[in-house]
């Protein structure tokens, strides 16, 4: 039961261009969404989040867009830099079946080419 899906296992982008990572969710009870970034041999680190009452949140080069009707969110990185190369996990949080849950997607490996 994949409640949070990242359908692209990998993405390759030229340095300086925009990177767009996508995430879909199935459960309408999710009300908070997060993106985590993970480098090899490290734990996931928080990048940016968005509440379901918003449709956009921006932090520097990173912007997250939420389309509730489509149950879709995306992370835009512009301009992309080599240090952005990492695995990006989308996560959704909410009360599901009587418990607070945080569910991760499978991750997308982003490679920024110089």
Query: Which residues in this chain contact other proteins in the complex, by CB under 8 A?
Result: 31-32, 34, 36, 41-46, 49, 51, 89, 93-95, 99-107
Nearest distance from residue 32's CB to other proteins, in Å?
A: 5
Closer by beta carbon to other proteins, 61 or else 109: 109
CA 63 to chain centre: 10
Nearest distance from residue 11's CB to other proteins, in Å?
A: 16
DSSP string, 66-110: EETTTTEEEEEESS--GGG-EEEEEEEEEEETTEEEEEE---EEE
Nearest distance from residue 38's CB to other proteins, in Å?
A: 8
Closer by beta carbon to other proteins, 13 or else 91: 91
Q: Which residue has the tokens 């908070």?
A: 32
Closer by beta carbon to other proteins, 77 or else 87: 87
Closer by beta carbon to other proteins, 21 or else 34: 34
| Phi, psi (rounded to 5 degrees) for 77 | -120, 120
| Helix (H) / strand (E) containing 58 | strand 56-59
Q: In the structure encoding, which two tokens stand for residue 67, read together?
A: 């389309």
Nearest distance from residue 94's CB to other proteins, in Å?
A: 6
């Amino acid at each position: 039961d994949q409640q949070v899906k990242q359908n692209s296992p990998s993405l390759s982008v030229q340095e300086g261009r925009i990177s767009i990572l996508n995430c879909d969710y199935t459960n309408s009870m999710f009300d908070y969404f997060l993106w985590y970034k993970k480098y090899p041999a490290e734990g996931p680190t928080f990048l940016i989040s968005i509440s379901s009452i918003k449709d956009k949140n921006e932090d520097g080069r990173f912007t997250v867009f939420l389309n509730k009707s489509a149950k879709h969110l995306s992370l835009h990185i512009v301009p992309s830099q080599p240090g952005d190369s990492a695995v990006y996990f989308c996560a959704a949080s909410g009360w599901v079946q009587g418990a607070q849950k945080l569910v991760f997607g499978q991750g997308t490996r982003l490679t920024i080419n110089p």
